[in-house]
Amino acid sequence: MSDWKKFINVNGNFELPNYIYRTINELMKQSLDMGTLLSDDPHKLRAYKEQTKKLFKNKWNNLAQSLEFFGIIEECSCISSKHDFSNNKDIYCDVCKGARYIISSALSADEMREVSTFVNAAENIEVAEKLQKSLMKVLSDYR
């Protein structure tokens, strides 16, 4: 798998969509390579490869749409441009590097660290208690 550290851009932001896209692509390529061991029949092999590519691309699209819905990623400008992606030709984009999505402009590296700290807090009871107390204080101040 790809080293996630290679997906930190010059601004220090994690290129989450590209990382997930590349990881799924690597898995697809490994599956395609394994498929060549399954059959010597070129027709069956071609059908296997087409179905595998379709499956992985659909899973990426479903995942990307869910991440977009929650505001984690957003469509790259290459999607709204005049490129025709309907024929499954992979036109390379320097911005998204083929993923067709970029990290949401509203989501900074600091916010991602905060989310990570909050999610991992369950592993550390002391941190979880501090977060809970802070949350209750903020809620009481807000009212």
Q: State whether 45 and 84 are in the same domain.
A: yes
Beta bridge partners of 75: 101
Per DSSP, the three-state class of 47 is helix
Q: State whether 142 and 76 are in the same domain.
A: no
Domain interval for residue 125: 108-143
Q: Indicate the pTM of the whole model.
A: 0.63
Q: State whether 135 and 85 are in the same domain.
A: no
Q: State whether 116 and 63 are in the same domain.
A: no
Instruction: Give the residue from 10, 3, 21, 4 showing the smallest Cα distance to 92.
Output: 21
- Per-residue pLDDT of the chain in tens (143 residues, 90 and over written 9): 568 888 888 888 888 899 999 999 999 999 999 888 888 899 999 999 999 999 999 999 999 999 998 888 999 988 866 555 555 455 788 889 889 999 887 776 665 555 555 555 556 677 677 767 777 777 777 65
The Cα–Cα gap between 75 and 98 comes to: 11
Q: State whether 70 and 90 are in the same domain.
A: yes
| Joined tokens for residue 56 | 């992985």
Look at the chain and report how many structural domains it folds into: 2
Instruction: Give the residue from 41, 103, 93 showing the smallest Cα distance to 71.
Output: 103
